[in-house]
Amino acid sequence: MTIKHEALDRVVIRFAGDSGDGMQLTGDRFTESSALFGNDLSTFPNFPAEIRAPAGTIAGVSAFQVHISDHDILTPGDSPNVLVAMNPAALKANISDLEQGGILIVNSDSFDDRSLSKAGYETNPLTDDSLKRYSVYEIPMTSLTLEATKDTGAKPRDAERSKNFFALGLISWMYNRPYDETINWINKKYENRETVLQSNLAAYKAGHAFGETAELFASNYTVAPAHFEKGTYTNITGNHATALGVVAAGLLSGMQVLLGTYPITPASDILHELSKLKNFNVKTFQAEDEIAGVGAALGASYGGALGVTTTSGPGVDLKSETLGLAISLELPLLLIDVQRAGPSTGLPTKTEQSDLLLAMYGRHGEAPLPVVAASTPSDCFEAVIEAARIAIKYRTPVILLTDGYLANGAEPWLLPDLTKLQPIEPNFSKEFNHENKDGSKSFYPYIRDPKTLIRQMALPGTPGLEHRIGGLEKSNESGAVSYDPLNHELMVSLRAHKIEGIQDDISDAVVDDPTSDAKILLLGWGSTYGSIAAGVRRLRARDKKVAHVHLRHLNPFPKNLETILKKYETVIVPEINLGQLSKLIRSKYLIDAKSFSKVQGVPFKAVEIEKYVLNFVEEN
Amino acid sequence: MTVTTRKDWASDQEVRWCPGCGDYSILAAVQLLMPELGVERENTVFISGIGCAARFPYYMNTYGVHSIHGRAPAFATGLALTRPDLDIWVVTGDGDSLSIGGNHLIHALRRNINIKILMFNNQIYGLTKGQYSPTSEYGKVTKSTPFGSVLSPFNPISLALGAEGTFVARTHDMDRNHMMEMMRRAHLHKGASLIEIYQNCNVFNDGAFSEITSKDKRADNLINLVDGEPIIFGANSDKCVVLDAEQGVRVADRSSVTEDEILIHNSKRQKPAIAFALSKLASGPHEPTPIGVFRDVEQHEYSESLQHQTEDALNKKGSGTIANLLSSLPTWTVN
Ligand SMILES: Cc1ncc(C[n+]2csc(CCOP(=O)(O)OP(=O)(O)O)c2C)c(N)n1
Ligand code: SF4
Ligand SMILES: [Mg+2]
């Protein structure tokens, strides 16, 4: 049998298995080799909160979806074209997403009675005809892996664990991924564990050879490299880009960075990345809890460093009181909230956009602060720099919202032009700014720039400018404790106006409305960017006119937003929450913004956006 | 080094503690001590939480932050990690440090971060007007325990030793010289230091320490721990502390033991066992109670250790730039 070579413009593959099966690693590697090959791509890792939920159960299924293409894409794909299921539970949990006629590759060795019943199958789906809508390939991956690794010296129990490399080899063959690079990568990754190295290598090679020789597959496929803008690219996840953004913000401002944080999914990887980068003027501090993490970050900011804290879910709640202090002290502070599904522990590994109102309002007293959001994994880099710029310049805590989907999802990133990154000037005071009645001079920490209302800030260590600040209400200018009612009202309004005034210093919202005559506007923020933009493409392909605005700044909103909103008959706000941005828009601009909400721990599919708008048009 | 006097260290703020509050004498001790420490005002920072004690920074003509309840050690830790050049003091109350901020206190001590913690222990919540605190004695009648507290108190010295504190001392607000001596030693110590200061709250817990600190009781009830000296006390120097197989240490009549049985105080013992036993000698400030430095040992200090790692990285890789950062990523180029 000769194997046909077919060219595809894109393919969506989902690797699914038990948490212990190494599906995330397999997906990551397939992604990395596709990135190096030059495809555009987008990924969606989806895994349980338990490190190893009971083996073989639906609860323990871990999946990694990757979308690769020869053209520019925006999402990890709505439904996979190919599903690799390493056991019955993985099949059961994922099969409903596989497209009609899609390719299903199963590890047939794992379809024994015990595994079937653990997954809740009463009959074996491989024999009961229930899979006849798909092209099913039953491959005994476990036994083939054992066979391939028998000379490596690995014990069978250990050798069996290389079966994900068998799958990787097979799928790499099917989609013509570069072979040698993955071999090199395996060599490097396991260089200190000789038997594991040998057994993974053997399994990978065996999987690849199996595709080639087993005469099971009539064709294999190529997905040609995408046409990218000229430049240097890397494949990056949101958390990684966030960490790089933190480093860049430090270097651009000349400030040392202190990350004060406490481990929590899905934010911990930012800590892990930054902990490696000690020669970049970054220190990381794993505190005893979130309160201490943000407290230390604020203490560092007080001393002239850039204090950063990262967290998610319940960790954000714990930081509220310190945010209030930072607002009162008027010190820079960057809180990066990698949002996850709540309330309480919620779904720790699943994504959500449900902290927007918390970021806006979650503190006692009149306590406004700027809120910034990242829209794609690679965008986290610039979003962090923007958030840090505002924090440093305006001496205020800023909340940057990313989420679990951005954090773990990956995409190619055109490395930024370094000459375009603007320095951030902290402008610390070195001089007295007040003359006392007796002619002596002193430093008043709450004397402000009349236009921006930014206060003057002198660092400890500056001779002569010693002063005290605190969370008690302070007298305008001098900063001395004050209980005067009118002074309090003045300070409350000065702090609020300072934040509102940032509107003059942020970029306008950009409208994507090619013909400028759409009647419907899709207004989004954060990680829904890809799904909304892809939905808009689908609508336009049907000649439906829709406009798209995606917000970077959520507080304050861009100046031109009101004019934009009022231009459209309908404003639809898709969000992974119960309608938080739509509430803000409705109350601020008095327009009937419609909330399109989904709260399932997963992103919107492009087709869902498309359908919602089509239905809306039909019904109105 | 600028020569200063007490006045230079006092801010222009009117001090607003209740008349007669023990906090005044602690403030005086600190302001008197500063000129002799050889530090500059601009390099000195006082950080506090919330409580009567926590108003302290406003009265010092240094840099200062009045932060939030219990969190001063966290704030100070961030500052100390990034500004090892500063001389950082934390001022806290018994509620601030042992109740809401207990977690931060023990971890600051464990990390041995370079901060000096002055814990004003008045065995009561002063600022909130008189509820029992984590150091209030069993049976204490307060507004929130009208029938008496049914809880045993923390012993701050035992707690600090249990938290691996490397410098742990106790003093009281009636003895300025002793307070200054403890602070002087804390200042010399590299790492975290904790000084528990028995402080009289004359409004809500007056006389909490008078059994041991009043002039006529001191000799009999204060056991002054002095390095290198046998632990002897009593108006007639007739009492002493000896090792005890059951309890670690115990008070004995000098007449009942030989001179070399008397424990020689040594705050530099690496193992905290004897220091801990000494901290447990009194069950509260109503019987012979040790004051002085319980423990003062050298151990790697956190900010310095972290700085060493930074310097190692700098030596190996050089000072990083954004260009370095990006070029270290696996990349591909499209032409
Ligand atoms: C989060 C928070 N909870 C409660 C309070 C109220 N509060 C202020 S001071 C204090 C207790 C202070 O006691 P202590 O630390 O012993 O200080 P003292 O006033 O006795 O010096 C409390 C409960 C607060 N300010 N913040
Ligand atoms: S309430 Fe007590 S501790 Fe507070 S100032 Fe008055 S006397 Fe001092
Ligand atoms: Mg108290």
- Say if residues A456 and A448 touch (Cβ distance below 8 Å): yes
Q: Do A234 and B67 touch (CB under 8 A)?
A: no
| Separation of CA B122 and ligand 3 centre (Å) | 5
Task: Provide the total of helices (H) and of strands (E) in chain A, helices listed first.
Answer: 21, 25
Q: Which two tokens stand for residue A312?
A: 């998610």
pLDDT value, residue A214: 87
Interface check A304 vs B, CB under 8 A: yes
Q: Flag whether B307 is in a domain.
A: no
Euclidean distance between CA atoms B245 and A481, whole angstroms: 55
Cα A322 to chain centroid, rounded? 25
For chain A, give every domain's residue range: 4-222, 237-420, 427-505, 511-619
Q: Which two tokens stand for residue B180?
A: 């200054």
Euclidean distance between CA atoms A201 and A191, whole angstroms: 11
Indicate the residue type of B239: K
- Residues 163-202, chain B, touching A (beta carbon < 8 A): none
- The model carries a pTM of 0.95
pLDDT digit string, tens, across residues A172-228: 999 999 999 999 999 999 999 999 999 999 999 999 999 999 888 888 999 999 999
What is the CATH topology of the domain spanning A237-420? Rossmann fold (3.40.50)
Q: Flag whether B57 is in a domain.
A: yes
pLDDT value, residue B1: 72
Q: What percent of chain A has pLDDT over 90?
A: 95
Residue closest to A212 by CA, chosen among A252, A179, A181, A248: A179
pLDDT value, residue A1: 61
Cα B151 to chain centroid, rounded? 23
Residues in chain B: 335
Closest-CA distance, B164 to chain A, in angstroms, reads: 15
Dihedral sign computed on CA atoms, order A122, A126, A129, A131? positive
| Average pLDDT rounded to a whole number, residues A470-475 | 98
Q: Which atom of ligand 2 is nearest to the CA of B51?
A: 4
Q: Flag whether B257 is in a domain.
A: no
| Separation of CA B136 and ligand 3 centre (Å) | 9
Q: Flag whether B194 is in a domain.
A: yes
- Say if residues B35 and B3 touch (Cβ distance below 8 Å): yes
Reading phi first (left if > 0) and then psi (alpha if -120 to 50, else beta), residue A365 is in left
Question: Burial level of A340, CB count in 10 A (0-12/13-18/19+)?
Answer: buried
Residues within 5 Å of ion ligand 3, judged at the Cβ atom? B 93-94, 122, 126
| Average pLDDT rounded to a whole number, residues A521-529 | 98
pLDDT value, residue A51: 80
Report the CATH superfamily, name and number, of domain A4-222: Pyruvate-ferredoxin oxidoreductase, PFOR, domain III (3.40.920.10)
DSSP string, A577-611: SSSHHHHHHHHHH---PEEEE--SSSPPPHHHHHH
Indicate the residue type of A4: K
- Residues 486-505, chain A, touching B (beta carbon < 8 A): none
Interface check B322 vs A, CB under 8 A: yes
- Say if residues A325 and A282 touch (Cβ distance below 8 Å): no
pLDDT digit string, tens, across residues B147-161: 999 999 999 999 999
Q: Which residues of A touch B41 (CB under 8 A)?
A: 466
- Say if residues A527 and A400 touch (Cβ distance below 8 Å): no
Q: Which atom of ligand 1 is nearest to the CA of B54?
A: 21
| Average pLDDT rounded to a whole number, residues B33-48 | 97
Euclidean distance between CA atoms A336 and A403, whole angstroms: 10
Euclidean distance between CA atoms A226 and A73, whole angstroms: 10
| Average pLDDT rounded to a whole number, residues B293-309 | 97
Q: Flag whether B326 is in a domain.
A: no
Q: What is the mean pLDDT of chain A?
A: 96
Pocket residues: Cβ below 6 A from ligand 2: B 17-18, 21, 23, 52, 122, 126, 201-204
pLDDT digit string, tens, across residues B303-316: 999 999 999 999 99
| Separation of CA B99 and ligand 1 centre (Å) | 9
Which helix (H) or strand (E) element contains residue A13? Answer: strand A10-18
Domains identified in chain B, total number: 1
* B182-211 per-residue burial string, b: 16 or more CB within 10 A, e: under 16: bbebbbebebbbbbbbbbbbebbbeebbbe
Q: Which two tokens stand for residue A267?
A: 């934010």
Residue closest to A65 by CA, chosen among A39, A88, A38, A97: A97
Q: Dihedral angle at the C-alpha atoms of A295, A298, A299, A301, nearest 10 degrees?
A: 160
pLDDT at B208 over 80: yes
- Residues 400-419, chain A, touching B (beta carbon < 8 A): 415-416, 418
Interface check A481 vs B, CB under 8 A: yes
Q: Dihedral angle at the C-alpha atoms of B238, B275, B273, B107, nearest 10 degrees?
A: 160
Q: What is the mean pLDDT of chain B?
A: 97
Give the chain A residue nearest B333 (alpha carbons).
Answer: A232
Which residue range forms the structural domain that includes residue B123?
6-215
Using pLDDT thresholds of 50, 70 and 90, give the confidence band for residue A53: confident
Alpha helices (H) in A175-286, listed in sequence order: 179-189, 194-213, 238-253, 268-276
pLDDT value, residue A558: 98
pLDDT digit string, tens, across residues A3-21: 888 999 999 999 999 998 9
Euclidean distance between CA atoms B309 and A446, whole angstroms: 37
pLDDT at A2 over 90: no
Residue closest to A24 by CA, chosen among A11, A33, A14: A14
Contacts of residue B199, defined as CB under 8 A and 6 or more positions apart, other chains included, come to: B21, B22, B23, B26, B53, B120, B121, B122, B172, B173
Q: Flag whether B196 is in a domain.
A: yes
Q: Do A248 and B322 touch (CB under 8 A)?
A: yes
- Say if residues A383 and A402 touch (Cβ distance below 8 Å): yes
Euclidean distance between CA atoms B87 and B42, whole angstroms: 9
Q: How many CB atoms lie within 10 A of CB A589?
A: 16
**CB nearest A258 (choices: B68, B82, B313):** B82
What is the CATH topology of the domain spanning A511-619? Rossmann fold (3.40.50)
Contacts of residue A614, defined as CB under 8 A and 6 or more positions apart, other chains included, come to: A539, A542, A544
pLDDT digit string, tens, across residues A88-115: 999 999 999 999 999 999 999 999 999 9
Q: Flag whether B107 is in a domain.
A: yes
Q: Which two tokens stand for residue A73?
A: 């894409």
| Separation of CA B182 and ligand 3 centre (Å) | 20
Interface check A578 vs B, CB under 8 A: no
Residue B195: give its domain's CATH number.
3.40.50.970
Q: Which two tokens stand for residue B145?
A: 């325990």
Residue closest to B275 by CA, chosen among B320, B331, B231: B231
**CB nearest B71 (choices: A303, A322, A464):** A322
| Ligand 1 contacts CB of residue B99 (under 6 A) | no
Q: Flag whether B286 is in a domain.
A: no
pLDDT at B8 over 70: yes
- In this chain, the answer to whether the domains covering A4-222 and A511-619 adopt an identical fold is no
| Atom 12, ligand 1: residue with shortest CA distance | B51
| Ligand 1 contacts CB of residue B266 (under 6 A) | no
Residues in chain A: 620
3-state DSSP helix/strand/coil % of chain A, to nearest 5: 40, 20, 35
Q: Do A299 and B335 touch (CB under 8 A)?
A: no
DSSP state, residue A422: P
pLDDT digit string, tens, across residues A410-465: 999 999 999 999 999 999 999 999 999 999 999 999 999 999 999 999 999 999 99
Alpha helices (H) in A403-527, listed in sequence order: 404-408, 485-501
Q: Which residues of B touch A461 (CB under 8 A)?
A: 42-43, 83, 85-86
Euclidean distance between CA atoms A509 and A553, whole angstroms: 9
Q: How many CB atoms lie within 10 A of CB B37?
A: 14
| Ligand 1 contacts CB of residue B133 (under 6 A) | yes
SS3 A450: coil
Q: Which residue has the tokens 């720099």?
A: A385
Contacts of residue A568, defined as CB under 8 A and 6 or more positions apart, other chains included, come to: A518, A519, A520, A521, A547
Q: Which two tokens stand for residue A131?
A: 């899979």
